[in-house]
Amino acid sequence: MDFVDAIVIGGGHAGIEAALALPRLGFETLLITQNLDTIGKLSCNPAVGGLSKGNIVREIDALGGEMGKLIDATMIQFRILNQRRGPAVQAPRAQADKWEYSSLAKTTLEKEKGLHLFQDTVCDLMVDTDRRTVKGVITERGHSIRAKTVVLTTGTFMEGRIFIGEYSAQSGRLGEPAALGLGTALRRLGCSVGRMKTGTPARVARSSLDFSKFEEQPGDEIMLPFSFSSVRVDRPSESCYIAYTNEKTHQVIRDNMQRSPLYSGKIVGKGPRYCPSIEDKVVKFPDRERHQIFIEPEGYLSEEMYLNGISSSLPEEVQLRFLRTVPGLEQVHVMRPGYAVEYDYLDPRELYPSLESKLYANLFIAGQTNGTSGYEEAAGQGFVAGLNAGLKLRGREPLILSRAEAYIGVLIDDLVTLGTEEPYRMFTSRAEYRLSLRHDAADVRLFEKAEYAGILGTEARERLTEKRKGLEEIQELLKKRRLKEKDVFPDIGIEVQAGKTFLDLVRVPEISIDHLKELEPGLARYPESWLKQKELDIKYEGYIQRQERQVRRFERMELVKIPRDFNYDKVEGISNESREKFKRILPMNIGQASRISGVRNSDIAVLLVCLGRKPDAVSQGEAFVE
């Protein structure tokens, strides 16, 4: 195959979404990956979702992506996190059978019409240097394949190197070779390439553990689907377990710290601050008497258990010694050691919000290659990159998700505006408008964006249209129905006057929509998820309205567009520091320009004047964000 419309490099979670989005838009696509048997591999913890990450999975699904469907079909435990807290910080998380997940991902790709899989390693890009345009790829085995667009999703494999104590080897994962050559080629082409580090813990044999010494952590009784296309999930549920390190564990680690490549100087890449190794925890938190270990199954039929929270790159014999100090792990058998991996990444500030490179047209970049961590962050980027590559081939404007519309929008805006010097991880706290970004409402929230994307099937559109209609009907029913008797809720100790509408009753914190179902049989004909979504909309209506006012002010800033060819050198009155940052980032609008680190309010005001806007009229009294 010498020519295709699009090439996707890498078969991880970003690559899967990109490789499905392009053919679903009608373009012949070639996915090139080093090993077809490791497509969709859950390299680290065998789980999908979590705080803010579960929201991203549901957003991918709402837009037409695949990750939600894959985890629904392969989960072995499900939990809603933060159930006792507000809806803005609740999120679904599921343990996966990692081999089932990978197998299903590969099968899904194989069945996609217009998508071809090819096992090889891309080591260089074909470029038109005069036009600054990517034209195709060159592989390790000498294939030159031309394409109209290329999506780069190399994960931790680009010039990857693993470390276990004194041992080091060129590798992207333990036992899998690194992708060599491409990082060097990108440096030659002028891309800003850096090094990052991540790590993973040991996998241990289930039969060698004493579960009587652990705290059991069962899943929720009802497994809820991530995908809006799934009605229910009917799979057996496996428990996870919690163990704790102790002073003996920490002492073994301290005694061998000089043998850790993290502290001996062998690793130069920066690791994830929010997912530190056990070495980092012992050093940075010397007063902590213990650290949690989450013991998670890797699959129904697998003997391997994952020790979440205790990643390490110490020598194997040291890992075994400190693990055996943990109650329940005294006889542990290590099947795969923990290790660190260092790899090349590209500065995401060299990307537009569409995830297209500013340096070379038709090159889109997604996933850990952009400095992120996590399957969900990678998949969200992969979907957007693949979709926008396809939209560009169609001659259409890219799909840009704003910070007020999606966690994916927050993720991409943070990356392309601020960059990152450590593996970026999504948190709910990063989203200013998180109450409007609830996971349960992602399909309704992103309906117009999904329609623009154009890859939702007829069935999905009909299902969403039916849901929107149903939510309106529930609202009307609650508005019209009135309470006929006083004090019908003695069980919760609340006296309610007759004549109150059910809409007013839902606003009472102690009254749930389940109480009203007993009084109004008409509510029972709607799915439970619709009723719960409408209940939250009503209970938090005041907060949501306040946030919507903030969003409207935010959107006014985003609407003031800055031309790509805007000449910042001709703008008088802005600081040299801001000028250089504007020229490097090339913000698409005043909102993005105002979020660049170190840019002053006065510089934004000058820009607005140059663009023919009055600062006060745009902000309407709202302070610009530095």
Q: Which pTM was predicted? A: 0.92
pLDDT beyond 50 at 622:
no
User: What type of residue sits at position 257?
Assistant: M
Pairing of strands 176-177, 167-173: antiparallel
Q: Are 370 and 382 in contact (CB under 8 A)?
A: no
From the list 542, 492, 527, 488, the residue with the least C-alpha distance to 502 is 488
Helix/strand/coil (H/E/C) assignment for every residue in 221-271:
CCCCCCCCCCCCCCCCCCCEEEEECCHHHHHHHHHCHHHCHHHHCCCCCEC
Q: Are strands 203-205 and 334-336 parallel, antiparallel or unpaired?
A: antiparallel
Helix, strand and coil percent figures for the chain, each rounded to 5: 40, 20, 40
- Average pLDDT rounded to a whole number, residues 441-458: 91
| pLDDT for position 489 | 66
CA atoms within 13 A on the CB side of 58: 30
Span of 125-134, 181-190, 485-494 with lowest mean pLDDT: 485-494
pLDDT at 373: 92
Q: What is the pLDDT of residue 623?
A: 37
Averaged pLDDT, 509-522: 86
In the chain, % of residues over pLDDT 90:
75
Ranges of beta strands (E only) in 120-252 are 122-128, 133-139, 144-152, 161-164, 167-173, 176-177, 193-200, 203-205, 215-217, 240-244
What tokens were used for 595? Answer: 């979020």
**Whole-number pLDDT of residue 616:** 56
Predicted confidence (pLDDT) per residue in 598-611, tens digit: 888 888 988 888 88
Q: Is 286 exposed, middle or buried (0-12, 13-18, 19+ CB in 10 A)?
A: exposed
Q: Which residues fall within 8 angstroms of residue 339, CB to CB, at 6 or more apart?
A: 162, 163, 164, 174, 199, 200, 313
Of 85-94, 141-150, 542-551, 583-592, the range with the highest mean pLDDT is: 141-150
Question: What are the tens digits of pLDDT across the range 182-231?
Answer: 999 999 999 999 999 999 999 999 999 999 999 999 999 999 999 999 88
Tell me what pLDDT residue 274 has. Answer: 77
Instruction: Indicate the pLDDT class of residue 625, thresholds 50, 70 and 90.
Output: very low
Rounded to 5 degrees, φ, ψ at 574 are -105, 150
614: left (phi over 0), alpha (psi -120 to 50) or beta: beta
Q: What is the mean pLDDT of residues 230-242?
A: 93
pLDDT of residue 249: 98
Say whether pLDDT at 294 is over 70. Answer: yes
Model confidence pLDDT, tens digit, residues 452-470: 998 988 888 899 999 999 9
Residue 536 has pLDDT above 50, yes or no: yes
Are 583 and 566 contacting, i.e. CB atoms less than 8 angstroms apart?
A: no
Strand bridging mode 363-365 / 144-152? parallel
Quote the mean pLDDT of the chain.
92
d(CA 480, CA 477) in angstroms, rounded, equals 5
Q: Are 151 and 6 in contact (CB under 8 A)?
A: yes
